[in-house]
C-alpha cells in the first residue's frame, strides 16, 4: 500500500495499540521502573477520591463517564457559562466515537452525573492548585502533538508552560502505557522543535482525579531511565526508524 494511503494513527492510539513501535526506543520501561516512579506519587489536600461504590453505581461505560467529566471540567476551567450535562454528553460522545468499543448512552442518569461531576470538580481543583504555583504561565487546553510520518497529529490534555499534563481515570497506579504515551508525545514534539526551534516540555504531570493521585516527572530523567540512549536527536531518529519498520509491515 502506498505511504500516502496508509490510515493515519493518532499518537495516543499508537502508544496504546502499537507498543512495539516504542519498545525499541524505551526497552527499560519495565515494571521495576514503573514501580519506582509510582513510589513518588502524591495527593492534593482537600480533594476526596471517588468512592468505588459510587463509580460502580453508574451503568455507563467507565471510559465514557470520565470523558464526560473531562468535557465538564474543560467548560468550568474556561470561565464561560458552564456547559449543560447534555452538551457535555455531546462533546464526550464525539470524542469516544473515535474508539471502536465506545458505547454512547442515550441519556444520563443521576448516578452517572454524580460520578462525572465528582471527577470534574477534582480535576479542576488539581489544575487550579498547579496553576497557582505557576501564576505566570497560562493553562493551555489540548496542546498540539505534531505528527510524524504515518503517525497523525493529535492533542494532549493540558499544558502549563513547559509542563505537559495528562489526565488518567484508572483505578490502578500509572502504568507503562501511560509513560509510553507521554514519551511518545515528547518525542513527536521534539522532532518538530528540531525543525523550527519551538518550545519543548521539560516535565510531565500525570493526574488521576478518580483517586486523587498525581506524579510529576522530569522528562530528561524519564528519557534516560527508560531508553537506551540519552541523546535526544538519536531518539528522534530511532523513532523515525521504528515508524519506518512498522510501515514496511503494513
Print pLDDT tens along the chain (250 aa).
Answer: 333 434 456 777 666 655 566 777 888 999 999 999 999 999 999 999 999 999 999 999 999 999 999 999 999 999 888 999 999 999 999 988 876 567 889 899 999 999 999 999 999 999 999 999 999 999 999 999 998 877 888 899 999 999 999 999 999 999 999 999 999 999 999 988 877 777 899 999 999 999 999 999 999 999 999 987 778 888 888 888 877 654 444 4
Is residue 45 one of the residues assigned to a domain?
A: yes
Enter the C-alpha cell of residue 3: 505511504
Give the strand pairing for 203-208 and 163-167. Answer: parallel
Is residue 1 one of the residues assigned to a domain?
A: no
Is residue 4 one of the residues assigned to a domain?
A: no
Instruction: Domain count for the chain, please give it.
Output: 1
Is residue 99 one of the residues assigned to a domain?
A: yes
Domain that residue 71 falls in:
10-248
Is residue 208 one of the residues assigned to a domain?
A: yes
Is residue 27 one of the residues assigned to a domain?
A: yes
Model's pTM, two decimal places?
0.90
Is residue 224 one of the residues assigned to a domain?
A: yes
Is residue 2 one of the residues assigned to a domain?
A: no
Enter the C-alpha cell of residue 123: 480535576
Give CA–CA dist 237/75, Å, rounded: 39
Amino acid at each position: 500500500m502506498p505511504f500516502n494511503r496508509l490510515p493515519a494513527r493518532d499518537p495516543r492510539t499508537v502508544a496504546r495499540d502499537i507498543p512495539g513501535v516504542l519498545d525499541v526506543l524505551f526497552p527499560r520501561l519495565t515494571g521495576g521502573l514503573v514501580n519506582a516512579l509510582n513510589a513518588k506519587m502524591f495527593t492534593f489536600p482537600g480533594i476526596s477520591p471517588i468512592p468505588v461504590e459510587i463509580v460502580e453505581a453508574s451503568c455507563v461505560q467507565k471510559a465514557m463517564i470520565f470523558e464526560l467529566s473531562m468535557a465538564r471540567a474543560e467548560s468550568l476551567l474556561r470561565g464561560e457559562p458552564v456547559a449543560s450535562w447534555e452538551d457535555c454528553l455531546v462533546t464526550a460522545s464525539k470524542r469516544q466515537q473515535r474508539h471502536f468499543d465506545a458505547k454512547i448512552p442515550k441519556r444520563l442518569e443521576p448516578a452517572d452525573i454524580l460520578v462525572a461531576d465528582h471527577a470534574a470538580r477534582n480535576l479542576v481543583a488539581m489544575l487550579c492548585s498547579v496553576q497557582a504555583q505557576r501564576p505566570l504561565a497560562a493553562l493551555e487546553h489540548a496542546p498540539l502533538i505534531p505528527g510524524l510520518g504515518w503517525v497523525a497529529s493529535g492533542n494532549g490534555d493540558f499544558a502549563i508552560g513547559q509542563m505537559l499534563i495528562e489526565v488518567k481515570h484508572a483505578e490502578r497506579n500509572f502504568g507503562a502505557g501511560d509513560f509510553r504515551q507521554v514519551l511518545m508525545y515528547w518525542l513527536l514534539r521534539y522532532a518538530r522543535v528540531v525543525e523550527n526551534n519551538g518550545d519543548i516540555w521539560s516535565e510531565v504531570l500525570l493526574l488521576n482525579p478518580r483517586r486523587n493521585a498525581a506524579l510529576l516527572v522530569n522528562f530528561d530523567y524519564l528519557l534516560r531511565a527508560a531508553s537506551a540512549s540519552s541523546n535526544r536527536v538519536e531518539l528522534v531518529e530511532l523513532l523515525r526508524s521504528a515508524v519506518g519498520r512498522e510501515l514496511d509491515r503494513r
